[in-house]
C-alpha cells in the first residue's frame, strides 16, 4: 500500500464548476500538508500549505485536512480553463522529506 493515495483521474469539468480533489494517507505522523499544481512539462508550484487539521482558504482555493480520517481535500471554485493542470498532494511529518501523491489531472472545458 502506498503511503499517499491519490486518484489520478482524469477529471473533466465545465468552466465555472467546483473541482474537488482528495488524498488519503496512512502515516499518522504527517502533520504538514500541501497541494502543488503542475502544468505540462513544468515543475510543480506550491498552491496551498496547511498545518494539522482544519480549513484554509486562498481566493478560489480551499484546502481541508481531516487528520482523524487521514484525508485531505482541495476545492477549486469557479474553475477556469487556466486551472487545467495536474494537482499533487504532498505531506510530511517533521523532517525535510515530502511524500507525494500520484497527481490528479484536471481539465476545465471552456
Partner 1 sequence: DGGITQSPKYLFRKEGQNVTLSCEQNLNHDAMYWYRQDPGQGLRLIYYSQIVNDFQKGDIAEGYSVSREKKESFPLTVTSAQKNPTAFYLCASSIRIGGFGYGYTFGSGTRLTVV
Q: State the residues that interact with partner 1 by CB under 8 A.
A: 4, 6, 8, 32, 34, 36, 41-46, 49, 88, 90, 92, 94-98, 100-103
Which residue in 50, 31, 46, 36 sits closest to 94, CA to CA?
Answer: 31
Shortest spacing between CB 31 and partner 1, in angstroms: 9
CB of 50 to partner 1, least distance (A): 11
Closest approach of partner 1 to the CB of residue 15, in Å: 26
Nearer to partner 1, 68 or 94 (CB): 94
* 58 vs 78, beta carbon nearer partner 1: 58
Q: Residue 27 has which C-alpha cell?
A: 502515516
Backbone angles phi, psi at 66, to 5 degrees: -120, 95
**Residues contacting residue 51 through CB under 8 Å, at least 6 positions apart:** 31, 32, 33
| Cβ-based neighbours of 59, under 8 Å, separated by 6 or more | none
Q: Which is nearer to partner 1, 19 or 34 (CB)?
A: 34
CB of 102 to partner 1, least distance (A): 4
Judged by beta carbon, residue 1 or residue 41, the one nearer partner 1 is 41
Between strands 99-100 and 11-14, the pairing is unpaired
Amino acid at each position: 500500500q502506498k503511503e499517499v493515495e491519490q486518484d489520478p483521474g482524469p477529471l473533466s469539468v465545465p468552466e465555472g464548476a467546483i473541482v474537488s480533489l482528495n488524498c488519503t494517507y496512512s502515516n499518522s505522523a504527517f502533520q504538514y500538508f500541501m497541494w502543488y499544481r503542475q502544468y505540462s512539462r513544468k515543475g510543480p508550484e506550491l498552491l496551498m500549505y496547511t498545518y494539522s487539521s482544519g480549513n484554509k482558504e486562498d481566493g478560489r482555493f480551499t484546502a481541508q485536512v481531516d487528520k482523524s480520517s487521514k484525508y485531505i481535500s482541495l476545492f477549486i471554485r469557479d474553475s477556469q480553463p487556466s486551472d487545467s493542470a495536474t494537482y499533487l498532494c504532498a505531506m510530511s511529518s517533521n523532517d525535510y522529506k515530502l511524500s507525494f501523491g500520484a497527481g490528479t489531472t484536471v481539465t476545465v472545458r471552456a
